[in-house]
Amino acid sequence: MSLMQKIARRSAADVVREIEPDVPLICTRPEELRKKARAFLDGFPGEVLYAVKCNPDTEVLRHLVDGGITHFDAASMAEIRQVRSVLPDAVIHFMHPVKARSAIRSAYFEHGVRDFVLDSFAELNKILAETKNATDLVLVVRLAMPKGQAVYDLSGKFGAAPNDAAALLKACAKVAAKVGLSFHVGSQCIDPSAYERALDLTGQVLAQSGVALDVLDVGGGFPVAYADVQPPPLSHFFAAINRGVAKLDLPAHCRLWCEPGRALVAEGQSVVVQVQAKKGGALYINDGVYGTLADAGAAVGLRFPMRMVNSKRQGRLRAFEFFGPTCDSADRMRGPFLLPSDIQVGDWIEIGQVGAYGRVLSTGFNGFDEILRATVDDRPPVEDVGAVLVPLKSVRAA
- What letter represents residue 219's amino acid? G
Do 55 and 20 belong together in one domain? no
Q: What band does 389 get if pLDDT is binned at 50, 70 and 90?
A: very low
Mean pLDDT of 117-124: 98
**Is 125 within the bounds of a domain?**
yes
Own/partner long-range contacts of 225-230 (Cβ < 8 Å, ≥24 apart): 225/305, 225/353, 225/382, 225/383, 226/302, 226/303, 226/304, 226/305, 226/353, 227/303, 227/304, 227/305, 227/306, 227/337, 227/338, 227/383, 227/384, 227/388, 228/303, 228/388, 229/188, 229/190, 229/303, 230/388
Mean pLDDT of 129-135: 98
Do 245 and 284 belong together in one domain? no
162-191 pLDDT, tens digit each: 999 999 999 999 999 999 999 999 889 999
Do 162 and 52 belong together in one domain? yes
- The SS3 of residue 240 is helix
- The SS3 of residue 152 is strand
Contact 322, 337 (CB under 8 A): yes
Q: What band does 42 get if pLDDT is binned at 50, 70 and 90?
A: very high
Number of domains in the chain: 2
- What letter represents residue 115's amino acid? D
Boundary of a domain, candidates 218, 235, 265: 265
| pLDDT over 90 (residue 275) | yes
Do 214 and 136 belong together in one domain? yes
Mean pLDDT of 244-253: 95
| pLDDT over 80 (residue 387) | no
Do 301 and 218 belong together in one domain? no
Boundary of a domain, candidates 265, 299, 332: 265
Summary mean pLDDT of the chain: 91
pLDDT at position 18 is 94
In the chain, % of residues over pLDDT 70: 91
Do 306 and 251 belong together in one domain? no
pLDDT at position 375 is 95
CATH number for the domain that contains residue 274: 2.40.37.10
Q: What band does 155 get if pLDDT is binned at 50, 70 and 90?
A: low
Q: How far is CA 322 from the centre of its chain?
A: 23
**Is 1 within the bounds of a domain?**
no
Do 236 and 358 belong together in one domain? no
The closest alpha carbon to 164, from 122, 205, 123, belongs to 205
User: By residue range, what is the domain housing residue 193?
Assistant: 30-265
Concatenated DSSP letters of 282-341: EEEES--TTTTTGGGSTTT-----EEEES----PPEEEEEEE-SSS-TT-EEEEEEEEET
Concatenated DSSP letters of 14-30: HHHHHH--SS-EEEE-H
Do 66 and 199 belong together in one domain? yes
Helix (H) or strand (E) holding 350: strand 348-351
Do 20 and 41 belong together in one domain? no
pLDDT at position 386 is 38
**Is 377 within the bounds of a domain?**
yes
SS3 content of the chain, % helix, strand, coil (to 5): 30, 25, 45
Boundary of a domain, candidates 265, 298, 323: 265
**Is 182 within the bounds of a domain?**
yes
Q: What band does 398 get if pLDDT is binned at 50, 70 and 90?
A: very low
Own/partner long-range contacts of 391-394 (Cβ < 8 Å, ≥24 apart): 392/319, 392/336
DSSP letter for 348, please. E
**Is 155 within the bounds of a domain?**
yes
- What letter represents residue 127's amino acid? I
pLDDT at position 336 is 95
CATH number for the domain that contains residue 45: 3.20.20.10
Mean pLDDT of 234-262: 96
- Angle at CA of residue 277, ends 276 and 282, nearest 5°: 125
Q: What is d(CA 138, CA 172) in angstroms, rounded to the nearest whole number?
A: 9
Do 219 and 83 belong together in one domain? yes
Q: What is d(CA 152, CA 250) in angstroms, rounded to the nearest whole number?
A: 29
Could you report how far apart the first and last alpha carbons of the chain are, in Å? Answer: 40
pTM: 0.91
- What letter represents residue 94's amino acid? F
| pLDDT over 80 (residue 397) | no
Q: Where are the beta strands (DSSP E) in 53-150?
A: 71-74, 91-94, 115-118, 138-142
Do 231 and 179 belong together in one domain? yes
Do 245 and 366 belong together in one domain? no
Q: What is d(CA 308, CA 305) in angstroms, rounded to the nearest whole number?
A: 11
Residues paired with residue 274 on neighbouring β-strands, in sequence order: 348
